[in-house]
Structure 1
Amino acid sequence: MRQSITRELIYSIARHSNWQAAGIENKLRSEGLYATPRNWATFIRLFLLGAGASFTLAGVVFFFAYNWADMHKFVKLGLLQFLLLATTFAALVPRFSRTIRNVLLTASAVLVGVLFAVYGQIYQTGANAFDFFWGWTYCVVLWVLVANFQPLWFIFLALLNTTFILYTQQVATYWSFALVLDALFILNAMAVVVWEVLAAKGKVNVQHRWFPRIVGMAAITFITVSMISLLFNSFKDFNEDYGLALLLGFGMYGAAIWYGMRMRELFYLTAVPFSGIGFFTALIIRVGESLPELMLMLATVFVIGSITLLVQYLGNLYRQWHG
């Protein structure tokens, strides 16, 4: 069975042999590891498709906003329902490529939210914003599962985050700030873990890693802010959180660094240390509140030194992995 040729394998052979640069370049091109004109054409086609769908949806929203007073309520609802049905049925046409059908289904998911918003404005239902986003979320969940399309998954996860935030602001108002951030971290971290597991099993396209990186950055941001907030809040807030933020944060640090080293993924080895730098900088400032000038100077020296060492280490690590 022929072993698949990867960029790392070619770099490894080149480091331990006298393989010339021209030969390496030819091998990279022959194995399809360099972008070809066909690859660029595919990228441009997908970019224009996504941009066209996004501008069209924006145009729909602004059309109703601009002509709101001049249209009857039945016209508003009828137009949106027609657009929603037409887009959804077009996504079922087999002659279209899978990518086009997924983009159409993503547009349908967005139109569901527009339809709910127009309905709520017409009849003034009095429902909370939480109810609106919750209804939007569970109405598109079936499409998300069927399509298995990363942009649609991203929209769905954004809806889940928005729904949960609004729930804590309008229903569960007794939740502490740190506890809300802890829950948001768990939600987004679980999404990253599921994606990485599916990627390891070949269920998702690992060539496009923008989804786990964006969601992972959101999860890291949530837990970092939660950990820092515990340092500056009262002891009551710490009791409500039970130190969960620190447990999740340091657990995430260890797991992400281990996974980054194992899979040679520099994103986790970059984002997580910066989170740690932010936390320990806040800790220095918190401990030295009685000597603010001295602690600010120490914090500045710590930030400059730690970032310098981190960048140097990551550069050496990258050269060690990729030559």
Structure 2
Amino acid sequence: MAKIDREDIHIICDHSNWSEPCVRKMLEEHSYNDVSSWQRFLKLLLLALGVSFTAAGVIFFFAYNWADLHKFVKLGLIEFLIVSLILTAVFVKTKPLIKKMLLLAASLMVGALNAVFGQVYQTGADAYDFFLGWTLFVTIWVLFSNFAALWILFVTLLNLSLFFYAEQVAHEWSELFLFCLLFAMNVLLLMGFILIPKPLKMAPFPSWFIQVVALAAVTISTIGLSTGIFDSPEPSFLVLFLMTMLFYGVGIWYGLKTRSLFYISIIPFSVIIILCAALLDFSNEASMLFAIGIFIVTSITLLIKILLNYQKKWAN
């Protein structure tokens, strides 16, 4: 076997005369997390919570004391925090992970600085201006740090900038056209995160980060197609449908190639939701609702069976 998991050990134990100390040793080596793994997990968890709570504390401080603070104090405090975080990350000798977390905290403070600046001087900027400026100001840090958490912030800001631009400026854009743009942008970002590290000889992005971006793309396509089914036909729906089918086909192929159950599960689940929306649009009578219920139960059961078969096949 390429990898022994807990279930394999239990099966061998039930059909052999394995002694209890040997079983315990195998579980500790192949199944249980050791002390160092838990220590590393706790360090990362506490570090992430510390950065998050510090950023939230700064934001709540300004929200609570807003009326009592002078405008130069408001701007000066946040600028001092940003400069201190950047200087610490650049000049203090510490672990690379801590430096990247400091950059993440500074990136969050940039958003707070933009919000405070807009409130103090009443710039009248639309929401998309706020998120777009935030995105541009942290781009250099995101590129040079190549930190997955910072990339998550960057991708989120890109999506929010495009969404609010369509909502507040591009009134001629239809809802489906916006879904097409969001879906295309997230798919291109996903392809870049998967393909670019190898030719540039960079460390590959962690699997959880790739899966988060893929989940965002699948969610956008699912909502867009499910919404477009109930609306009047337009060219954007056909474009989104074709892009989705192409992306889903490549996603299934990539999941089989990399032996990842994640892609083989979220894509069929998305297809099930879209088909349910199509059936509901065809008829909303009680008989159709009953048929949709049977379809959901049957399809989900079949999908779980397929996933279990692939898991058993790849595990052995």
TM-score between both structures, scaled by the size of structure 1? 0.87
Structure 1 CA distance for aligned equivalents of residues 3 and 226 of structure 2:
44
Partner letter of residue 146 of structure 2?
N
Conserved in 2, the CA contact under 8 Å of 1:257 and 1:269?
A: yes
Q: 1:44 aligns with which of 35, 42, 45?
A: 42
Conserved in 2, the CA contact under 8 Å of 1:168 and 1:175?
A: yes
Match of 1:71?
69
Structure 1 CA distance for aligned equivalents of residues 23 and 148 of structure 2:
33
Match of 1:204?
203
Structure 1 CA distance for aligned equivalents of residues 97 and 226 of structure 2:
42
Conserved in 2, the CA contact under 8 Å of 1:185 and 1:219?
A: yes
Structure 1 residue 257 corresponds to structure 2 residue 257: no
Structure 1 residue 243 corresponds to structure 2 residue 238: yes
Partner letter of residue 310 of structure 1?
L
Structure 2 CA distance for aligned equivalents of residues 275 and 232 of structure 1:
17
Match of 2:311?
318
Q: Deviations over 1:157-186 (max 9, x none)?
A: 111011010110111111111111121111
Conserved in 2, the CA contact under 8 Å of 1:198 and 1:204?
A: no
Per the TM alignment, residue 25 of structure 1 is displaced from its structure 2 partner at its CA by 8.0
Conserved in 2, the CA contact under 8 Å of 1:277 and 1:303?
A: yes
Distance 1:182 1:23, change over 3 A: farther
Consecutive unaligned residues in structure 2, runs of 5 or more: none
Structure 2 CA distance for aligned equivalents of residues 138 and 256 of structure 1:
30
Where 1:173 maps in the other structure, the secondary structure is coil
Q: Deviations over 1:265-313 (max 9, x none)?
A: 1000010000000111111122235xx1221111111111000111111
Match of 1:227?
225
1:90-169 equivalences in 2 (<5 Å): 90-169=88-167
Match of 2:297?
304
Partner letter of residue 203 of structure 2?
V
Partner letter of residue 118 of structure 1?
V
Per the TM alignment, residue 191 of structure 1 is displaced from its structure 2 partner at its CA by 2.1
Per the TM alignment, residue 204 of structure 1 is displaced from its structure 2 partner at its CA by 3.4
Structure 2 CA distance for aligned equivalents of residues 221 and 25 of structure 1:
42
Consecutive unaligned residues in structure 1, runs of 5 or more: 1-7
Conserved in 1, the CA contact under 8 Å of 2:194 and 2:204?
A: no
- Larger mean CA deviation between 85-94 and 58-67 belongs to 85-94
Partner letter of residue 304 of structure 2?
V
TM-score between both structures, scaled by the size of structure 2? 0.89
Structure 1 CA distance for aligned equivalents of residues 117 and 99 of structure 2:
27
Structure 2 CA distance for aligned equivalents of residues 314 and 199 of structure 1:
29
Structure 1 CA distance for aligned equivalents of residues 23 and 274 of structure 2:
44
Structure 2 CA distance for aligned equivalents of residues 85 and 130 of structure 1:
25
> How many residue pairs align between the two structures?
306
Where 1:243 maps in the other structure, the secondary structure is helix
Q: Deviations over 1:227-272 (max 9, x none)?
A: 112211013xx23x16111101211221111111111010000100
RMSD: 2.5
Structure 1 CA distance for aligned equivalents of residues 276 and 66 of structure 2:
51
Q: 2:262 aligns with which of 263, 267, 277?
A: 267
1:24-35 equivalences in 2 (<5 Å): 35=33
Partner letter of residue 285 of structure 1?
L
